[in-house]
Amino acid sequence: MIETQDFEIIRKSETSISEIDFANLPFGRVFSDHMLIAQYSKGSWSRPTIKPYGDINISPAMSAIHYGQSIFEGLKAFKSDNGETLVFRPDMNWERMNNSAQRLCMPKIPKEYFIDGIKQLVSLDQAWVPEDPSCSLYIRPFMFATDPFLGVKPSETYTFMIITSPVGPYYAKPLHLKVETEYTRAAMGGVGFAKAAGNYGSAMLPAKLAQDKGIDQLIWTDAKEHKYIEEAGTMNMMVVIDGKLLTAPLTSTILPGVTRDSFLTLAREAGYPVEERKVSVAELIDAQENGTLEEVFGVGTAATIAQVEKLTFQDNTYNLAPISTREISVKIGQLLLDIKKGNVNDSRGWNMTV
Ligand code: COI
319-354 tens-digit pLDDT:
999 999 999 999 999 999 999 999 999 999 999 999
Dump pLDDT digits (tens) for 244-284: 999 999 999 999 999 999 999 999 999 999 999 999 999 99
Q: Identify which has the larger pLDDT, 81 or 251.
A: 251
Residue of 71, 100, 234 best suited for mutating to test ligand 1, as the one with most atoms within 8 Å of CB: 234
Nearest to 121 by CA among 138, 145, 100, 97: 138
CATH 3.30.470.10 fits 4-169, yes or no: yes
Ligand 1 first shell, C-beta below 6 A:
74, 200, 234, 300-302
- For 192-237, how does the pLDDT look when each residue is reduced to its tens digit (9 = 90+)? 999 999 999 999 999 999 999 999 999 999 999 999 999 999 999 9
Confidence of residue 5 (pLDDT cuts 50, 70, 90): low
**Which of left, alpha, beta for 79 (phi over 0: left; psi -120 to 50: alpha)?**
beta
Which run of H or of E encompasses 70? Answer: strand 70-72
Residue 21 phi, psi dihedral angles, 5° rounding? -90, 95
Nearest CA to ligand 1 atom 4: 302
The full set of domain ranges for the chain reads 4-169, 175-340
The protein residue with its alpha carbon nearest to ligand 1, atom 8, reads 234
pLDDT for the residue numbered 4: 59
CATH class of 175-340: alpha beta
- H/E stretch holding 24 reads none
| Protein residue with its CA nearest to atom 3 in ligand 1 | 74
Write down the pLDDT at residue 1: 58
Does 169 have pLDDT greater than 90? no
**Identity of the residue numbered 49:** T
Q: Which residues contact 286 (CB under 8 A, 6 or more apart)?
A: none
CA 195 to centroid of ligand 1, rounded, Å: 9
Mean predicted confidence (pLDDT) in 102-124: 97
